[in-house]
Amino acid sequence: MSAPTPAPLLLRGARLTTGETADVLVAEGRIAALGAEAAAQAAGLDPAPEEVDCAGLVLLPGLVDLHTHLRQPGKEDAETVETGTRAAAMGGFTSVHAMANSTPTADTAGVVEQVWRLGRDAGWCDVHPVGAVTVGLAGEALADLGAMADSQARVRMFSDDGMCVHDAVLMRRALEYVKSFGGFVAQHAQEPKLTAGAQMNESELSGVLGLAGWPAVAEEAIIARDVLLAQHVDSQLHVCHVSTAGSVRLIRWAKEQGVRVTAEVTPHHLLLTEELVRSYDPVFKVNPPLRRESDVMALREALADGTIDTVGTDHAPHTAETKQCEWTVAAMGMTGLETALSVVQHAMVDTGLMDWAGVARVMSVTPASIAGLEDQGQADERGVPRVGAVANLVLVDPEARRTVDPEQHLTKSRNSPYRGMELPGAVRHTVYRGARVVADGAPAQPYRHPAVAEAGGRA
């Protein structure tokens, strides 16, 4: 059987990133019309489109996350592709990139194809597996990058995230290899010998708290090396979760030299500081660690001026057993898919550093461009989705206020650092390939990929 085409939608009175209001017609999975033409074309449709009142809601192209941990296969007690992508849809994401540190590692064509199929079966958003750079993330031998690139998953992003590709020769070979098929390496910048046993940012506070320090230079040294390697072989490098002011300066310099480097910052590094570690609450333990207030301000400025290209959630779900324990043995990582847009609004929009067009740029258009996603991030330079594009959209209420309660989140894990914090903004609707997968702030029905429907529920 064939998958039914999503019913047409008429989004009434949405607020564009330009500040104007407009109707948007979604039909046959695409944006059919925008503005005055939308209602006129809707009148001729059979069946008539479902009308959705979007007064006061900001319309953005669907969000794209280059840095998500979905845990499956092997760690389904913390997250699955189903639960993680449903949480992503609730956060306004229509595309996520699943990092390779699953069990088994996503270092073969078979594993990345499994993750890709699980994403299609779930139907909440696109799932793009990230292939491991090295076998088992061990940093000793290159994984079969070409086989993953040629697989059904068509992997283009490779990362050992959670581990650094610390061997300079291996990193050079990886950059050379991915260049041959238009891929890129996303580096977790952490010199392991400088961070052995590290527990938090190295500072006066780490000494006061008696926790082993994680120096900024451990991140900055790898970035400095890697931008030079990328320049040497003329390949594309993406720097994951930038966290220090020094890293910003290095990336800015590299871009000035014409190096093909892009970078991301996480929502938590835009908002939270090392001062939270005084509580010894392991929910604030993360890799890289929370840094100083001066680093947070430098990261915000770099995101606003384009030195940092994207926001990546680094959504890292963990079980209660591995997170709610003594700080020194607790797992590193925080959930983030369902709060990312609110944190960016709070840190960037409500502070005047960025407008909604900028949010569309750093959370949709630019990450889609970096990853080469033709069906995502299709908007003009003002952040307005393009007529004719695949209908991947999010509508957010910027006036809403909510107190974060992780118990209400759709991710399986509860390790949100924002528990009890009041944040602005709320996703009201997420449209994925023309289907409203989130409606009125709640999950609706997932999109049915044609191949999934023809296979009776699994592709």
User: Which residues participate in the annotated binding site for substrate?
Assistant: 69-71, 101, 287, 318
Closest among 271, 99, 120 to 186, alpha carbons compared = 99
Q: What single-letter amino acid sits at 110?
A: G
Q: Which of 126, 160, 314, 397 is catalytic?
A: 314
Q: For 379, phi and psi rounded to 5 degrees?
A: -150, 160
Q: For 445, phi and psi rounded to 5 degrees?
A: -110, 135
Query: HSE (CB half, 13 Å, CA atoms) of 75?
Result: 22
> Cα(167)–Cα(164) distance, rounded to whole angstroms?
9
Enumerate long-range contacts of 324-328, CB under 8 Å, 24 or more apart: 324/282, 325/282, 326/282, 327/199, 327/211, 327/280, 327/281, 327/282, 327/285, 328/199, 328/211
**DSSP states of 68-83 as a string?**
E---TTT-TTT--HHH
Q: What single-letter amino acid sits at 317?
A: P
Strand partners, 393: 61, 431
Segment holding 95, helix H or strand E: strand 93-98
314 is catalytic: yes
Q: What single-letter amino acid sits at 386?
A: R
- C-alpha 266, offset from chain centre: 8
Radius of gyration for the alpha carbons in the chain, expressed in angstroms and rounded: 21
Enzyme catalytic residues: 314
